[in-house]
Copies of this chain bind each other. A is one copy, B any other.
Amino acid sequence: MFDQSIITKLQQISGKDQVLTDKADLICYSYDATQKQYLPDVVVHPGSAEEISQIMKLASENKIPVFPRGAGTGFTGGSVPTAGGIVLGLTRLDKILDIDEENLVATIEPGVVTAEFQKTVEKVGLFYPPDPASLKVSTMGGNVAECAGGPRCVKYGVTKDYIIGLEIVTPTGDVIKTGGPTMKGVVGYDLTKLICGSEGTLAIITEIVVKLLPKPEAKKTMLVLFDSIDGAAQAVSAIIRGKIIPTTLEFLDARTLDCIRQATDLDVPAAARAVLLIEVDGDREFLDKQVAKVSSIVQPLGVVETRVADTPEQSEALWQMRRSISASLRQVNPDKFNEDICVPRSKVPDMIRKIESISDHYQIPIVNYGHAGDGNIHVNIMVDEKTPGDHEKAEKAVFEVFQGALELGGTMSGEHGVGIMKAPFLDMELKANTIDYMKTIKRALDPNNILNPGKIFPSDV
């Protein structure tokens, strides 16, 4: 039974309205995109770093686990309250505090929704590139905690590359500033980058200093259909070696195309066994030349068809194929295991072949698409949880997919993080002494292990 006096103290800190204990309310904060469900004891929505500091001190003194939460869109359980305790909802801290147009730096609170932030800076001609699929819902705090990616990262880098300063609250309630608004800074350890991607296990993020870019003048989209995944992968390498770094270099594999053919009436020629969706951005007058150069680079590599958009509407039509994937997959099978391995770019075809053989072995559909420019593959293992044996087969397939990625010099996760979903597999990727090194940091910075416990590490730190 959760101590009523803690509830009372939380109410004193953040106000009665901001403390939820009704089961109906708690359920809303019990899951994320993994659909794993754990009920918290209480949900608090603090209104300031100072309140969060008080809450962390209270939690620390009473050794109560605290689970920070943005919009709960994560794919690895990073925000689910696996040990009860307090869910710390950060959505009230949703202000864009400053946009410094002169220095291309914004200061924001963690609850700002990613897409809202992007729109706001674009209104003044600026640009925040990272674009995780969840961006219309996800919050910047969550994006920072997980180091979110997205299609544009091949050219522009991931969330971490844009975060130059933070205000954080430590597990013991200290409010600490890291980094700052300058483009360079080497005074002391880079705590900013340590917190980015630490999945809410080291600190609560209460303020974010973001580096922005000038918004590119224009973009141009093309879709190239290939007769093999090897051709598409060679095209990726050839484009980059041709000194063009496209904004996006998305690929769809043969089995994804089969699903789309089955589920939609989009025009996918039978000869097409892989697709690259390529977008370039920059100066308007230069884009046509870039598109022409990309076309001529890829042409010898088994191109079935090249489609180039001349208008935003045509661009949207080309994106349709990429956007239709999720709905198409659902028609194949209702449930999916969604992984996001990353391999060296040139190894994508080898990885796809490994996955195809895993799929064949277990007789479950696995379709792959993702960010070819980064080697970041979204592996979708399609199952019907109501079919006996499907779940177990998928679990074995996941294990073999990870194994395959690691054999190719890759990683289990390019974007989603570890959370609770990949924690059991952590020692497949990291040697025991690397895990120990990370745990040493966790123990030093969260001595009571109250902040998002049970995440990343497979056993207690």
Decide: A214 near B240, CB < 8 A? Known: A161-B161, A414-B182, A437-B174: yes
Interface flags, A411-448, vs B, CB<8A=1, else 0: 11111111000100010011101111110110111000
Beyond contacts A100-B344, A189-B456, A191-B434: 20 other A-B pairs, Cβ-Cβ < 8 A, are A103-B345, A147-B190, A157-B161, A161-B161, A174-B436, A176-B434, A177-B434, A178-B434, A180-B411, A182-B344, A182-B409, A182-B414, A184-B376, A185-B411, A186-B411, A187-B426, A188-B418, A188-B434, A285-B289, A444-B444
List B contacts of A56 (CB < 8 A): none
Surface stretch bound by B, among A192-200, A309-317, A325-333: A192-200
List B contacts of A445 (CB < 8 A): 437, 440-441
Smallest CB separation, A265 vs chain B (Å) = 34
Could you tell me which A residues sit within 8 Å of B by CB distance?
100-105, 125, 146-147, 149, 153-154, 157-158, 160-161, 170, 174-178, 180-191, 193-194, 196-198, 202, 213-217, 237, 240-243, 245, 283, 285-286, 289, 342-346, 371, 373-376, 409-418, 422, 426, 429-431, 433-438, 440-441, 443-445, 456
Tell me whether A186 and B182 are in contact (CB under 8 A): no
What copy number does this chain have within its complex?
A: 2
Q: Report Cα–Cα, A429/B165, bound state, in Å.
A: 14
Q: A417 — nearest CB in chain B belongs to which residue?
A: B186
List B contacts of A202 (CB < 8 A): 189
Q: Report Cα–Cα, A196/B193, bound state, in Å.
A: 10
Decide: A187 near B430, CB < 8 A? Known: A103-B345, A161-B161, A243-B217: yes
List B contacts of A413 (CB < 8 A): 185-187
Q: Report Cα–Cα, A104/B375, bound state, in Å.
A: 12
Decide: A160 near B344, CB < 8 A? Known: A184-B149, A214-B241: no
List B contacts of A196 (CB < 8 A): 190
> Which of B183, B197, B344 contacts A342 (CB under 8 A)?
B183
Tell me whether B197 and A243 are in contact (CB under 8 A): no
Tell me whether B178 and A186 are in contact (CB under 8 A): no
Tell me whether A437 and B103 are in contact (CB under 8 A): no
Q: Report Cα–Cα, A344/B194, bound state, in Å.
A: 23
Q: A428 — nearest CB in chain B belongs to which residue?
A: B187
Q: Report Cα–Cα, A346/B181, bound state, in Å.
A: 11
Tell me whether B433 and A174 are in contact (CB under 8 A): yes
Tell me whether A103 and B176 are in contact (CB under 8 A): no
Q: Report Cα–Cα, A154/B410, bound state, in Å.
A: 30
List B contacts of A438 (CB < 8 A): 188-189, 191
Of listed A105, A160, A202, A214, residue having the most chain B CB within 10 A = A214
Q: Report Cα–Cα, A342/B190, bound state, in Å.
A: 16
Tell me whether A158 and B184 are in contact (CB under 8 A): yes
Q: Report Cα–Cα, A307/B367, bound state, in Å.
A: 57
A selection of 28 A-B contacts at a CB cut-off of 8 Å is A102-B237, A147-B190, A176-B431, A180-B409, A181-B344, A182-B375, A182-B410, A182-B411, A182-B414, A184-B374, A184-B375, A184-B414, A186-B411, A186-B415, A186-B417, A187-B426, A188-B438, A189-B194, A189-B202, A193-B194, A194-B194, A213-B245, A214-B240, A214-B242, A214-B243, A243-B283, A286-B286, A444-B444
